Structure 1
């Protein structure tokens, strides 16, 4: 998950940077004033912004949050020394995911970051929220998969195929595997049917990644691996490949 940090106090900036790094997230930029923060936001498209209110320059953190939400709605967590009601009410107008008072508690910030991601990218209020250490939230073009204490961003286009083991789905990407507690049917409903097709009762493949099909052995080759092809799924797969 890509994080933008906007903080002009060196001690807090270093602390946030260290904390985010320890969680395993990627810091797309660190800014101490508004213009630099805006430039980093536009260039790097962060998934989440940790934003101080009182920063250097003409723009405040609240001003920045308004611009961010107008250009590309992005979850924002305010981290500030201001605990007065007037500042809070102004900040609230930008609809932040949280408003934390310095000195912040690392555990509280970690929970706020996780909840901010769920609220921002879950498709509906009924979407399951990380019931265990292996679950998923779907954004428009990507998944956020929870692994241990961090959220890992996986672009849907990078999924090669999906397989099933017991009650879990395994998302296979180049050199990586992501395990989520979800049925193949539930996952299939979240994938674009123009890009993904079921080829076996326990497999879904990204049809753009198919390298070859062995019609004698009923297997599909993707990234040097053989995926089973069920006889009842063959005709649909061939038809879909012809329509690409």
Structure 2
């Protein structure tokens, strides 16, 4: 019997989901409506899957909680949400979930999402090509949040601080850019300017003067063009 943790801030809905999962021969080991209680449950009981609502109580939402869970636990996560806007869907990285369902959902939809969530995770564990890309730990609203390297677009020096930019949001961290350059993997991150460290996997175009990462345009240090071509494995 698989153990499931429900993270849901609607009490009646959480109870209903718990009853449905029990009828499907799953064991609900806990129901939490906030990040702190969810993490406490994970510390105390073995969990095989987390059914995660995106909008939960507290300062940290379900997506950031999923990143935090994945940093410590190798368990599948299935998101449930009433929001289908791109601002939420873009934040749901394929690296932190095995599926999602939109509210209101049917019993069959829940059954299918949980079944395939467990199945996809088992397939990932059995794959020799699966690997962890790591993450950068940042403080956000009083919580330590692991931001996957793959989600970071670039970092910008700002005096004694550094701004970390992702597709969705940015974080201001009290540490100099050089410190990040030393701790981030050089195979992924490249210092293109005294004030900028970029994630090369997000480069969309560049020339001798600037480099583009989506909507962001970053200046390139003079004389770096040849090295940049080699770093990006671009044919001349």
What is the TM-score when the length of structure 1 is the normalising length? 0.49
- C-alpha contact 1:5 1:51 (8 A) present in aligned 2: yes
- Which of the pair has more CA radius of gyration? 1
Unaligned runs of 5+ residues in structure 2 are 128-236
Matched, 1:59 2:66: no
Q: In the TM superposition, what is the alpha-carbon distance from 1:95 to its structure 2 partner?
A: 2.8
- C-alpha contact 1:62 1:94 (8 A) present in aligned 2: no
In structure 2, the residue corresponding to 1:92 is in which secondary structure?
A: coil
In structure 2, the residue corresponding to 1:90 is in which secondary structure?
A: coil
Distance 2:54 2:95 in 1: 12
Unaligned runs of 5+ residues in structure 1 are 126-244
Distance 2:22 2:51 in 1: 13
1:183-217: per-residue Cα shift (whole Å, max 9, x none)?
Answer: xxxxxxxxxxxxxxxxxxxxxxxxxxxxxxxxxxx
Residue of structure 1 equivalent to 2:97: 96
- C-alpha contact 1:69 1:94 (8 A) present in aligned 2: no
Which runs of 4 or more aligned residues in structure 1 lie more than 2 Å from their structure 2 counterparts after TM superposition?
Answer: 92-95, 122-125
In structure 2, the residue corresponding to 1:91 is in which secondary structure?
A: coil
In structure 1, the residue corresponding to 2:58 is in which secondary structure?
A: coil
Tell me how many residue pairs correspond in the alignment. 126
Distance 1:83 1:92 in 2: 15
Q: CA RMSD in A?
A: 1.7
1:50-104: per-residue Cα shift (whole Å, max 9, x none)?
Answer: 0101001111001110011110121101011111011011022553111111001
What is the TM-score when the length of structure 2 is the normalising length? 0.51
Structural mapping, 1:199-214, within 5 Å: none
Structural mapping, 1:13-24, within 5 Å: 13-24=14-25
Distance 2:56 2:73 in 1: 21
